[in-house]
Amino acid sequence: MHPPYSPDLAPADYFLCPQLKLAMKGIRFEDEEAIKRKVTSPFRRLYERHQECINRGGNYVEH
């Protein structure tokens, strides 16, 4: 069960693709693994924020 409102679960967090493309724009990657690391890091951070919010019972989490 998720809290009805939490700043850490804001809808803006779910629009990662445009942000991800901007973060990768103009970068030359050495190999496929470097691309994977760059792409997965925002999702990993989002997952950690979700877990922290759940662990706190929906309370606000400072960054």
Is residue 50 in a domain? Answer: yes
Is residue 3 in a domain? Answer: no
Is residue 49 in a domain? Answer: yes
Is residue 39 in a domain? Answer: yes
Measure the CA–CA gap between 55 and 62, rounded to whole angstroms.
14
Quote the pLDDT of residue 21. 78
* Domain range for 52: 11-56
Quote the pLDDT of residue 3. 62
Domain count, the chain: 1
What are the phi and psi torsion angles at 60 (to 5°)? -60, 140
Q: Determine the average pLDDT of the residues in 17-28.
A: 82
Quote the pLDDT of residue 57. 85
Q: What is the mean pLDDT of the chain?
A: 77
At 33, the pLDDT band (50, 70, 90 cuts) reads very high
